[in-house]
Amino acid sequence: MSFLSIHFPRWVWSEVCFRIFIFVIFLITEELSPYHRVIQPEEAWLYRFPNKVSIVPSQLLWLILVIATLTVIAVVFAYNNDLNLAICAIGVPTLALPLNGIITNIIKVTVGRPRPDYLERCYGPEYLTITEYTRPCIGAATLVLDGRKSFPSGHSSMSFCGFGFLFLYIAAQLKTFSTGRGHTPSFILTLITLLAPTLVAISRFDDYHHHYQDIIVGSLLGFCVVYAIYRQYFPSLGDPTCDKPDVPFSGYEQGAGEARLYGRRTLSSLENPNCIKTV
């Protein structure tokens, strides 16, 4: 099916515009100032760790997510030549990632929990001897503000959101969890996709950028968000048709007299592409 031969309904373009809007909101929330939580003397040890460079920088994480997602979708498309499946697949992470980012950032600035390396961010080399935590910070403003955005872990939530989609998508295409069959090879291949976000999450603990609670909550948050959005487009992984989307996202093949059937839903007529009926 040629991309140029597809007629995209108006609601598809609305989805595109909505994703752009959500992404802009995500960028805005990145710049919000966090709540200034008071540090009590008895908890100061939690924030007295050295400030280290991120093992997995944010730019690298985004690059990995984009390349991995596009690669998997492209490989599946090359195998089955299903443009509708490819477009639905792209629709999930393009909504899940910015939406997850918004939720994560709002929680971060609302809670305002200091990072493990906050005291060095705030007071510099003297952080080990500081006992008065009400003193003004002397560190760079951006570094200090970012130091109060520990909960939940953004790296963990984003990595489990992005790679969580790949886990769901690969499991669906291989029908790893559909009933009535043994799936040991596909199960192992599917499970490998969760290794990458797990390593990213662990790295945030190793470089003293997050507490373990931040990482656990961030990981769960990211996977829950992507699963909720994934289920808007695809059936459950145990469904016999889990490898096909529920929604005919890409419209019709040129010259087709009737809609193509995907999963359990189809379009009812060429004149009303927004009308979906159950079959």
Rounded Cα gap, residues 169 and 179, in angstroms:
17
Residue 36 in domain: no
pLDDT confidence of 181, banded at 50, 70, 90?
low
How many angstroms separate the Cα of 242 from the Cα of each of 26, 29, 69, 170? 31, 35, 19, 10
Say if residues 126 and 139 touch (Cβ distance below 8 Å). no
| Spatial distance between the Cα atoms of 228 and 168, rounded to a whole number of angstroms | 11
Residue 244 falls within a domain, yes or no? yes
In a domain, 1, yes or no: no
278: in domain: no
In a domain, 268, yes or no: no
Residue 232 lies in a domain: yes
Is 36 in the active site?
Answer: no
Q: What is the number of domains present in the chain?
A: 1
* 188-243: pLDDT as tens digits: 989 999 999 999 999 999 999 999 999 999 999 999 999 999 999 999 998 889 99
Out of 7, 36, 210, 211, pick the active-site residue: 210
pLDDT, one tens digit per residue, over 32-59 is 999 999 999 899 999 999 999 999 999 9
146: tokens are: 């970012």
- Integer CA distances (angstroms), 145 to 14, 118, 155, in order: 36, 9, 17
Exactly one of 155, 183, 209, 211 is catalytic; name it: 155
User: Is 266 inside any structural domain?
Assistant: no
Range of 26's domain? 8-30+46-249
Under 8 Å CB-to-CB from 188, ≥6 apart: which residues?
none
Bigger pLDDT: 53 or 130? Answer: 53
> What's the token pair of residue 279?
């079959």
**257 domain residue, yes or no:** no
210 is catalytic: yes
Q: Write out the two tokens for 90.
A: 């792209």
